[in-house]
């Protein structure tokens, strides 16, 4: 089948989070299952740098879209190209005034949301719907797969087209907390009639919600782990949309993300200094030494090194880390942190590094090579998230023999098996888990990590258990393919 995959990021060209990894790996896995997939992305400069344009541009046209379709000069258009790295075909939405600017894809250089984000991502959604309806006469998809709030209006635009037949839409929620909220009056400028700017449509507490539009008008909704699909139907994690999700519960599916083992494999990873595998763990110890050197830590082979690769935010539970950090160091642990985010958390970490020279190291920017080195060189990876739709770093960590320490929510609970006595005994332990979202509960899990580390035979067994686990994208691709098949109308039998 033909699948149009609409999103905003693509690893390694442009990445702010796990969406970029999914946008790279899932279409490739779907193609390996015999499907024909084309991505649609905004023509951000970072993405254009990795794309070779092929063929003439397509001029967007049609009625009922955003007003800027007829206002912008030059007019927005779609470029058909191929990824330089893989040759895979894709579309870029070329609108330089909207997408070719300094800063990030969603935030300006000062860290504020772009004032015209509603127009930028409404246009992306419109382009997705336009392609789904046959805008490219040479290629029409059977299904549109839209991702997160940035493409949340695409199912709504398809609904408003009243086209028959109309390709079905699958809308994937990567993080329900980011909803794309804008003034309700902006909807009219985006081509949305008053009839859908109601509580039964895309209205959310007096605002226009791109996320709610995707939930209301897609034929199927997916999340990136089975447990998160359940959690978001509750008031605690539904971010105000739990009622909408309960109403669509029959269309809601949890499909666990996978790992791209061509990128995340300690036996072949070019970003780490020493390659290794489960049968030869000596290389992991050498990577630990290299990590200690890189972060200016005291070279102690017996230190239990805890790593963090994360956005520095309360959602990621890192205020809990601040509360247990001194105890962690007092027990003989070391800490390395890579990430950017909340200034208060950054300041607290900098103070901790000043209190504990040689035991706490910080890298307060994001770069991919350092992320790989932390995953390879740490003994424990900390992922104490308040909520976590799927989480990928804990999956990467297990593949590298780095035991994750996680809060039991979402995809973290779906993928990590706690190192309890019974799980150690039956060979299923792969990390450490705490249930209550409190610093005391996290501190107990940290103490259990130290206790297991003092039992090297059991520690090594848990490492090998974790490394033997496989979270292949093939499994996720097959689940998506099955879902797509149920949505595509079948031709009547002759």
| CATH number, residue 449 | 3.40.50.2000
| Nearest by Cα to 395 from 407, 382, 404, 386 | 404
Residue with tokens 């199912």: 155
Question: Sheet harboring 181-183: ordered strands across?
Answer: 181-183, 207-209, 203-204
Q: Are residues 439 and 425 in the same domain?
A: yes
> Does one domain contain both 332 and 436?
yes
Evaluate whether residue 404 is within a structural domain.
yes
The whole-angstrom separation of Cα 138 and Cα 123 is 22
Same domain, 254 and 332: no
pLDDT in tens, the chain (494 residues): 999 999 999 999 999 888 999 999 999 999 999 999 999 999 999 999 999 998 889 999 777 788 888 888 888 999 999 999 999 999 999 999 999 999 889 999 988 999 999 999 999 999 999 999 999 999 999 999 999 999 999 999 999 998 888 999 999 999 999 999 999 999 999 999 999 999 999 999 999 999 999 999 999 999 999 999 999 999 999 999 999 999 999 999 999 999 999 999 999 999 999 999 999 999 999 999 999 999 999 999 999 999 999 999 889 999 999 999 999 999 999 999 999 989 999 999 999 999 999 999 999 998 899 999 999 999 999 999 999 999 999 999 999 999 999 999 999 999 999 999 999 999 999 999 999 999 999 999 999 999 999 999 999 999 999 999 999 999 999 999 999 999 997 644 44
Same domain, 363 and 215: no
Same domain, 342 and 286: yes
219: tokens are 């034929």
Q: What is the pTM of this model?
A: 0.92
Domain-embedded: residue 176: yes
Q: Is there a single domain that holds both residue 122 and residue 48?
A: yes
Residues 235 and 299 occupy one common structural domain: no
> Using the 8-state DSSP alphabet, how is residue 224 labeled?
S
Q: Are residues 34 and 96 in the same domain?
A: yes
- Maximum C-alpha span of the chain: 77
Give the integer Cα–Cα distance in Å for 56 and 71. Answer: 22
54 and 90 in a common domain? yes
In a domain, 337, yes or no: yes
Is 221 contained in some domain? yes
Residue 461 structural domain: 282-470
Same domain, 291 and 246: no
Asked if 360 and 375 sit in the same domain, the reply is yes
Do 215 and 299 share a structural domain?
A: no
Number of domains in the chain: 2
On whether residue 263 sits in a domain, the answer given is: no
- Let me know if residue 185 belongs to a domain: yes
> Which element (helix H / strand E) includes 82?
strand 77-83
Helix-helix angle 473-487:18-32, to 10 degrees: 70
Whether residue 277 is contained in a domain is answered as no
**Which residues are 79's β-sheet partners?**
92
Q: Collect all residues with Cβ–Cβ distance below 8 Å to 105 and sequence separation of at least 6.
A: 8, 9, 14, 16, 42, 44
Residue 270 in any domain: the answer is: no
DSSP H helical ranges for 113-208: 117-132, 153-161, 186-189
């Amino acid at each position: 089948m033909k699948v149009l995959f609409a999103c905003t990021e693509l690893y390694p060209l442009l990445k702010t989070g796990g969406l970029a990894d999914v946008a790279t790996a899932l279409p490739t896995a779907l193609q390996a299952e015999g499907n024909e997939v084309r991505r649609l992305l905004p023509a951000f400069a970072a993405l254009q740098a990795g794309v070779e344009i092929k063929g003439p541009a397509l001029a967007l046209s049609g009625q009922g879209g955003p007003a800027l379709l007829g206002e912008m000069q030059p007019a927005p258009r779609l470029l058909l190209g191929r990824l330089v790295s893989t040759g895979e075909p894709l579309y870029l939405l070329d609108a330089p005034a909207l997408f070719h600017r300094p800063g990030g894809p969603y935030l300006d250089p000062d860290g504020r949301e772009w004032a015209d984000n509603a127009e930028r991502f409404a246009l992306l959604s419109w382009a997705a719907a336009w392609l789904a309806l046959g805008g490219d006469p040479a290629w029409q998809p059977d299904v549109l797969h839209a991702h997160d709030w940035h493409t949340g209006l695409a199912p709504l635009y398809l609904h408003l087209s009243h086209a028959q037949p109309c390709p079905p839409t699958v809308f994937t929620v990567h993080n329900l907390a980011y909803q794309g909220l804008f003034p309700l009056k902006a909807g009219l400028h985006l081509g949305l009639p008053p009839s859908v700017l109601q509580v039964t449509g895309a209205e959310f507490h007096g605002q226009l919600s791109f996320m709610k539009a995707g939930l209301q008008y897609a034929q199927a909704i997916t999340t990136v782990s089975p447990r998160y699909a359940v959690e978001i139907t509750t008031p605690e994690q539904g971010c105000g949309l739990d009622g909408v999700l309960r109403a669509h519960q029959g269309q809601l599916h949890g499909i666990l993300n996978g790992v791209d083992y061509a990128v995340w494999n300690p036996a072949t990873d070019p970003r780490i200094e020493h390659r290794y595998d489960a049968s030869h763990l000596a290389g992991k110890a050498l990577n630990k030494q290299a990590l200690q050197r890189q972060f200016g830590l005291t070279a102690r082979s017996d230190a239990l090194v805890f790593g963090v690769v994360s956005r520095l935010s309360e959602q990621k539970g890192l205020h809990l880390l601040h509360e247990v950090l001194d105890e962690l160091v007092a027990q003989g642990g070391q800490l390395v942190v890579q990430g950017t985010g909340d200034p208060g958390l950054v300041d607290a970490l900098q103070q901790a590094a000043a209190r504990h020279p040689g035991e706490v190291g910080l890298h307060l920017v994001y770069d991919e090579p350092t992320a790989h080195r932390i995953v390879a060189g740490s003994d424990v990876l900390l992922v104490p998230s308040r909520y976590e739709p799927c989480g990928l770093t804990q999956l990467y960590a297990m593949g590298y023999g780095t035991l994750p320490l996680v809060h039991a929510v979402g995809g973290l609970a779906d993928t990590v098996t706690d190192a309890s006595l019974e799980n150690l005994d039956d060979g299923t332990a792969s990390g450490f888990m705490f249930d209550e979202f409190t610093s005391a509960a996290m501190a107990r899990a940290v103490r259990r990590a130290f206790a297991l580390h003092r039992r090297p035979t059991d520690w090594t067994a848990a490492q090998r258990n974790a490394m033997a686990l496989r979270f292949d994208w093939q499994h996720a691709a097959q689940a998506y393919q099955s879902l797509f098949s149920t949505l595509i109308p079948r031709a009547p039998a002759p």
